[in-house]
């Protein structure tokens, strides 16, 4: 998912558009639900690291720290 997100963002899509594309491509309902929740947090004004933190069981501390460092 990380590589796909990076590719979508590099192509010029917004984070919201990129997450929408990932949601559409996800085959697992739980993955769609989590990505939808992340998108909701982002549109509410949270940073990506904070939005991922809402789903800390899916996104470990190390991953979120990397995202936060990139922000």
Query: H/E/C letters for each residue in 37-51?
Result: HHHHHHHCCCCHHHH
Per-residue pLDDT at 67: 95
Q: CA–CA distance from 15 to each of 18, 29, 33 (Å)?
A: 5, 20, 17
Tens of pLDDT, residue by residue over 33-42, are 999 999 999 9
15-32 pLDDT, tens digit per residue, is: 999 999 999 999 999 999
On average, the pLDDT of the chain sits at 96
**How far apart are alpha carbons 39 and 67 in whole angstroms?**
15
Mean local confidence (pLDDT), 46-52: 97
The pLDDT assigned to 1 comes to: 86
Instruction: Tell me the CATH number for domain 2-70.
Output: 1.20.81.30
């Amino acid at each position: 998912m990380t590589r796909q997100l990076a590719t979508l963002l590099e192509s010029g899509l917004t984070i919201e558009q990129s997450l929408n594309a990932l949601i559409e491509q996800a085959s697992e309902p739980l993955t769609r639900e989590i990505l939808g929740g992340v998108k909701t947090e982002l549109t509410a004004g949270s940073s990506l690291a904070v939005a991922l933190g809402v789903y800390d069981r899916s996104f470990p501390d190390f991953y979120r720290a990397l995202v936060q460092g990139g922000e």
